[in-house]
Structure 1
Amino acid sequence: MLYSYIVKKEIRKTFDHVNNHRWDDAVKAVAPDVHHRVSGAHALAGERHDKEALRRWFERLGRVQPTLHITINNIWVKGWPWHTTVFAQWEATATLLNGDASYVNRGLHVFTLRWGRVYALEEFQDSQEAARGLAVQSAAGLKEAVAEPIVSSQKPSQRARAF
């Protein structure tokens, strides 16, 4: 189906933007009241309910894991343009500041799209590996790696709640 092909291409492009620290491009198709959630208890966890908080989260991701590279293994698209669910299975690798190249995290992103805009994004990953990598970064002197999560100051709207 042509629609699925286009969506997969755009999702891959977004991950490419993240890999190359192009944050403006990464959030271009995000709705103003997006709902973004990452589980765990670490500096990249928490919930954001607006595009600006998500952009700040991406900026932090780039600072605390500067060599992070995400490889997409599979993408599944379900639905129509007015309500699409996308599953993106991935593997992330990074060399940590202490020279350790063993950081590997695997996960799944679940996107909710409406007419090409991302209204919700939930990330399922190995939160213990994420926390371990961030602890190594902190021990190497990067204090932001153990900072409090970035969260939104505004409350979520009904439209953005897709979980």
Structure 2
Amino acid sequence: MYHALVKRLAAKNFELINTKGHTELLASCTSDISHRFGGDHALGGQRHSREALGKWLDRLGRLVPTLHLTITDMWIKGTPWNTTVIIRWTGTATFPDGAPYHQHGVHVVTLRWGKATAIDANEDSQAVVQMMTALAATGITEAHAEPILN
């Protein structure tokens, strides 16, 4: 029963990324959440607060507004006070020139009593760099900004 609830929560949170429901998504995180997104680019780095994650989500929404994530597999392990959720996903968007963008990755999410305490996003960072480079080439300076850290 608990794992079914967690599965629904995780699926809802991925849909909130798609719909830019950042406020609701952040409400499901602890104030000291750890968020890591691999790569050396504007979306890369590690954050250690809900506020920093909110800034990161806002940047993601501005830079890749057409991003759509689709969960392909999900595994849940643990108890309500120490739950691990592994989510395999694909992502699509559109490059500035209209070409399709394809992405894939795995999130490892740690929950405590239904709140996310850590999100470790493992994606094709080269694909992200290609998108950031294409965006910067069109004059979007935020695509080459320093990562949001803290």
Whether these two folds match at TM > 0.5 is yes
1:106-121 matches, cutoff 5 A: 106-121=104-119
List structure 1 runs of 4+ shifted beyond 4 angstroms: none
Higher-helix-fraction structure: 2
- TM normalised by structure 1 equals 0.90
1:6-85 matches, cutoff 5 A: 6-85=5-84
Deviation at 1:46, TM superposition (A): 0.3
Q: Name the amino acid aligned to 2:140.
A: L
Output the CA distance in 2 between the equivalents of 1:117 and 1:69: 23
- How many residues get paired? 150
Output the CA distance in 2 between the equivalents of 1:16 and 1:92: 12
Deviation at 1:77, TM superposition (A): 0.3
Question: What is residue 158 of structure 1 aligned with on the other side?
Answer: none
- Give the percent of matched residue pairs that are identical in Structure 1 and Structure 2: 43
Question: What is residue 128 of structure 1 aligned with on the other side?
Answer: 126
CA contact (8 A) 1:69 1:94 kept: yes
Deviation at 1:69, TM superposition (A): 0.3
Output the CA distance in 1 between the equivalents of 2:99 and 2:87: 27
Deviation at 1:4, TM superposition (A): 1.0
Higher-strand-fraction structure: 2
Q: Name the amino acid aligned to 1:82.
A: W
Output the CA distance in 1 between the equivalents of 2:77 and 2:141: 40
Deviation at 1:60, TM superposition (A): 0.2
Output the CA distance in 2 between the equivalents of 1:95 and 1:36: 25
Output the CA distance in 2 between the equivalents of 1:69 and 1:143: 23
- Report SS of the residue matched to 1:59: helix
Cα deviations across residues 21-63 of structure 1 (Å, max 9, x unaligned)?
Answer: 1110111110000010111111000010000000000000000
Output the CA distance in 1 between the equivalents of 2:11 and 2:88: 11
Q: Name the amino acid aligned to 2:110.
A: T
Output the CA distance in 1 between the equivalents of 2:123 and 2:42: 14
Gaps of 5+ in 1: 153-163
CA contact (8 A) 1:42 1:146 kept: yes
- Report SS of the residue matched to 2:27: coil
Which deviates more, 62-71 or 133-142?
133-142
Output the CA distance in 2 between the equivalents of 1:63 and 1:138: 13
Question: What is residue 151 of structure 1 aligned with on the other side?
Answer: 149
Output the CA distance in 2 between the equivalents of 1:15 and 1:88: 10
